[in-house]
Amino acid sequence: MASIGRLSTKDAVLLLCDMQEKFRPNIFQFPNIVSNAARLLKASRVLGIPAILTEQYPKGLGPTVLELEAGDLTAYAKTSFTMMIDEVEKQMQALGNPKQAILCGIEAHACIACTTYDLLEKGIEVHIVADAVSSRSQTDRLFALSRLKQSGAFLTTTEAVLLQLVQDAKHPNFKEIQRLLAHPSPDTGLLSFFSAL
């Protein structure tokens, strides 16, 4: 039976892809993408979901942006367009091979796409957080999301992920998650994409 894509804190890992300084001026909606990814990272800490962070060629593209607040995470440097490098594979194994990946970062048509294909081929369910993913061009971003949906990834939003993970207002961490939902996610230009689905 095909999975319906219900997220679980027990089976998930948060993947944070390449949100680095040199991308700041060029990525569509960069501040809002990082802001949403930062909320996901805060929620993952509250809910005990492990997070893995990569940086694309940091020597040239700089470090992860400070506002992601990921200073406590090891940044795995890479040159490939997938996050699934040896060090990340080993980290996934050390975590017990999570069955679900919550994926955010940049760029949608490059590293997000290649990571998604690799995860899907390994049988890992992929949840792409559409309002926490972008590219330099909105065209590349939207076509990448459409293509990745065709490949079997689930498209979702920051707020939807947070609510799915707690499931119930009686959840012991609901108040902390609710604080992360105090302000709705900013519009990151996805409405035109949604109307074309």
Catalytic residues: 18, 78, 111
- Residue 100 and residue 161: Cα distance in Å, rounded? 12
End-to-end, the C-alpha distance of the chain in Å comes to: 24
**Packed helices 158-166 and 30-47: angle between N→C axes, nearest 10 degrees:** 10
List the alpha helices (DSSP H) in the chain. Answer: 30-47, 58-61, 86-94, 113-121, 138-151, 158-166, 174-180, 191-196
- Residue 176 and residue 169: Cα distance in Å, rounded? 11
Q: Which position has the token pair 């909320």? A: 39
**Packed helices 113-121 and 138-151: angle between N→C axes, nearest 10 degrees:** 10
